[in-house]
Amino acid sequence: MENITHFPSSDFPLGNFRALINDKPFTTTRLQGILCLRSELVGARTQKIWKIHATGKVAHRRTVFGFFIDQSLGPGTYDLVHNERLTAVYHLTPRQQALVYHSRDFQEGCVTLLECNTRTGRLRGRFEFSMSAIDFTVSRGEFDLRCRSGKVFDGSAN
């Protein structure tokens, strides 16, 4: 089953993704945006999502951001910690072991969607989140990209 939204390849490159992690810049090396159906644990696959996957570095450490945004959300500001239709994952690979933080672990956070155009695939917004208990802050986050139409997201790399 495929999402029926198709975008011309001339709409790419994808766009931009930026953030500061504890006041250090995230340098994007790979950015992927997809508008797709997400897999459900049970039943038919029906929920359409925007999926952002940004890989890069913060001070020579491999870092990955993942955002999964319900397509039904329109422009506005949303609580990242308590909204089940919006999920973020932050993955840092330091020298010894990987650290993975999920939005349900954040103490504070929000995403502001500025544009969500399913016709053109354009997704634009800002984000920030933090865990003050461990002195961790992501600030001045922003994305502006064109998401390609994707097949059903089944949890594997696209």
Tens digit of each residue's pLDDT (9 = 90 or more) over 86-137? 999 999 886 667 788 888 889 999 999 999 998 899 999 999 999 988 889 9
**Which domain covers residue 116, as residue numbers?**
20-149
71-92-129-155 Cα dihedral, nearest 10 degrees: 20
Tokens standing for residue 136: 């961790």
- Does 5 reside within a domain? no
| Residue 66 contacts residue 149 (beta carbons within 8 Å) | no
- Does 96 reside within a domain? yes
- Does 13 reside within a domain? no
| Residue 126 contacts residue 141 (beta carbons within 8 Å) | yes
Tokens standing for residue 135: 């002195």
Task: Give residues with Cβ within 8 angstroms of 126, minimum separation 6.
Answer: 111, 112, 114, 141, 142, 143
- Does 44 reside within a domain? yes
Judged by average pLDDT, the poorest of 3-7, 27-31, 49-53, 124-128 is 3-7
Q: Going by DSSP bridges, is the β-strand pair 148-149/27-37 parallel, antiparallel, or unpaired?
A: parallel
Domains in the chain, number: 1
Q: Which residue reads 């390849």 in tokens?
A: 9
3-state secondary structure of 103: helix
- Does 123 reside within a domain? yes
- Does 9 reside within a domain? no
pTM: 0.81
Query: ∠105-141-63 over CA atoms, to 5°?
Result: 65
Give the C-alpha separation, 115 to 15, whole Å: 14
- Does 73 reside within a domain? yes
User: Which position has the higher pLDDT, 10 or 128?
Assistant: 128
Asked if pLDDT for residue 157 goes beyond 90, the answer is no
- Taking alpha carbons only, the member of 65, 75, 34 closest to residue 51 is 34
Burial (0-12, 13-18, 19+ Cβ within 10 Å), 91: middle
- Does 70 reside within a domain? yes
Give the C-alpha separation, 27 to 31, whole Å: 11
